[in-house]
Structure 1
Amino acid sequence: MHFDTLAIQAAHQSDPTGAIIPPIHLSTKFERDAETYEPVGGHMYSRASNPNRDAFEKALAQLEGGAVGMAFGSGQAATMTLFQALRPGDHVIVPRQAYFSTPLLLEQVFHPWGLTYTRVEMSDLDAVQAAIHENTRVIWTETPSNPLLTMTDLLLISQMAHEAGAIVVCDNTWATPVLQRPLDLNCDVVMHSTTKYLGGHSDVLGGALVFKDPNHELALRVRQIQQLGGAVPSPFDCWLLLRGIKTLGVRVRAQQATAQALAEFLDGHPSVEKVYYPGLDSHPQRALVKQQMNGPGAMLSFGVKGGTAEALRVCGHLKLFIRATSLGGTESLIEHRATVEGIHTNAPDNLLRVSVGLEHAEDLIADLDQALKKI
C-alpha cells in the first residue's frame, strides 16, 4: 500500500458499536471473568496496557515496518527507557549533532549510573569505527541531524554495529516514516518524539520506540521497564496520536514542498551566509539523501550574515513565524538555537532553525524577506 493508505488503515480501530472513530478508554482498571478470572478484554491495569495505547503502538509499528511498538509519555521518556534497559558498564556511541537533551541525559543521569558513551561525528565512518569498543551495545543515530541537517549512512553504520555485536537506534523524528524507514535500512530500533510530526498539532506530548525483533533481549527489557515504570501516555494522548497519523503523509509532503521553496529563496538571499537543507543540490550529502530518503523533509536551518545580534534581530522582525522551540506542527516556528541550548551549545551563533508549517510558501517567503532586510 501507499503510505497514505497504510496510515489510514493502521490508525483505524474496529469498535463493537460500529463507531468509525473509537472511544477514549479512560478506565484505569479492567474486569476479570467470573469463571476463569482472566481479564475479559485482555487488559488488567492501564499502566500495563490500554486499548488506545495498544492501537497506537500497533499502528506506528506498521508505519515503520517493525514488529512491535512501545509508547511513552515523551520522547525523552522513550530515550531514557532504552538507555535504562542497558547495564552499567555498557558503552553507547552518540552523534555530536543530536537533539540537545539526548547526550545531556547520558551525561547527567546515566554516566554517573555506570553507562559510558562516546560522541562522534556520525558522517565520519572511520570515527564511528574507531569509537566501537568491546562493550559497545548501542550506536545511537539521528538523521537528518539537529540542527545542521547532516546525514548518517544507516546501512553502513548498521553493518559496522552488527559486526561488533551492537544494535543501531535511529531517531527518526525529523524524517518520519513518510520519508525514511530506518528498519528497512538494517537499523534495529526506531525512536520518535511523537510530540512532533506524528501528533502534528502541537497539542500532545509523547514518544515511542519501534523494534524490528520483538524477542530481542533489549526489546523485552524495554517493555518490562515501560510497564513497571509507567512512563506511558494517557489514553487521550494515544487517541490524539492515532488521529495525527491519519494525516501524517499529507501534512509532511505539503510542509516539505514549502520548505524546499524557502530553502531555495534563502540560498540566494544576500543577507544569508549559509542554508542547511537536504533538498538543496549544495548539500554535501545530497547523494545519500536521495539514496536513503523519499524526500528532504520540512526542517531547515540557515545562518544569517553576522552573529547573535543579527540572528535575533531577524527573529524579532518576523510576523508569521512563531518564536518557539519545537517542530512538526501546522504552524511555522523559528528559534535561535544557540540561545535555546545555552552555554553547552554546539550551534553557530548566527544559526536560526526553522520548522516549516502549513502556511502558504509565498507568505512565508515574504515574511523572511522583510525581516532579513532589517539586519
Structure 2
Amino acid sequence: MSKNYLKGRGAQLNKTNKFSELIYETRNDFLEFCRVEGEEANKNKTQYIPIFPKTIVNKVTSPDIGMAFSMNPYQGCEHGCIYCYARNTHEFWGYSPGLDFERKILIKENAPKLLEAKLKSKRWEAKTIVLSGNTDCYQPAEKEFKITRACLKVFLKYKHPVGIITKNALILRDLDVLKELAKDNLIGVNMSVTSLSEETRRVLEPRTTTTKKRLEAIRLLSENNIPVNAMLAPIIPGINSHEILNLAKAVSQNGAISFAFTVVRLNGAIGEIFSDWIYKTMPNKAQKVLNQIKECHGGTLNDSRYGIRSKGEGKIATQIHDMVRIARQTYFKDKSFPKLNSKLHKQYKDGQMRLF
C-alpha cells in the first residue's frame, strides 16, 4: 500500500468537479508551508451540511434498475465505497465526486415532512419507495440525525410499502418499526455484502459495517420475518469475483431468501478515482484488475447500455454469470423475494384507517 494512502477514506483524491470553472490543485510549496508552520494541509473531517429540497421522492426512469421510486435522506456517503456509482451525483451539488463525496454530507432534515405530503397526495398511488436509490440511508450520519427512522415511521403510519438498501448493521436499531411494517408485508431489505474478507472490505468500503455484523443483521432481520435480499455487488474481477459461491452460501445460511449481483462499471469520474485508488492500495494487481474490468465492458471501464452495463459481456463476465447461476441453484433453489403489499395505503391516506 502506498505511503500516501489516506486511511479511513475510499477516494484518495479530490477530482475537479466537471461543472466547475476553476481547478484546484495542492502544490508542493503549499505542502511545505504547512509542514513548516505545523498546519494540516488536508483536514480529513466529515462535514454535515443541511439542505432543504422541495421534493424527496424520485421517479426512477432507468429500465434496468429494478425500482420505480426512490428517496435519499442524505447526499454523499461517508461509507466511502470506492466503486460507488453515486459519486458522480455529488458534482450536481457543486462538489467533487472524490473525497468531497465522503466528507461533505448533505442532510435533508425535512425529508419526513416531504414524504408525508407525498403519501397524502390525492394523486399518489402506492408503489414501493426504496430507501435509498443513491446513497446509504444508514450511513454514519443517521446515528445523529435519525432521518431514516423518522421516514420509516411515516411509511408505517400510512401503511405504505418501503424497500431499504444498506450495508450498515445500524438498521437493527429500527427493528421495532421494521417488525410492525413486516406484519402487513410492507418492508423488504436489501443488505449489501461485497466480500467475506475483512482486509478486502476495509479497503473497498472503509467506513462500513464489518461483514460479520452484516451477516448477523441478515440473520436477525430474517428471524423477525423481515425478508432480506442480499446484494452481492459489485463483483469486481480479480478482487472479489472468486468469492461468489462462498458469499451466496453465507448469506443463505443467515436467512437471505434471494440475492442480486452486478459486474462493476466505473462510469463518469469513478474510472479515474478507482484507478488512482487501486494503484495506491493494490499496486501489484492494479493493471490486471483494470484490464479485466475493461474486458467486461468492450475494452473500456464503463458501458452505459441499459441491460448490459451492470451485467457485462465477454469471457470474464460469462464466468461470473455461470458462478451466479450455480450459486442460485445450490443455495437459493425454490426461494423468491415477496412482492410488497400496496393495497392498504389508500384507506390510510389521511393517517388513520377509514371506517366508512
Q: TM-score if structure 1 supplies the norm length?
A: 0.27
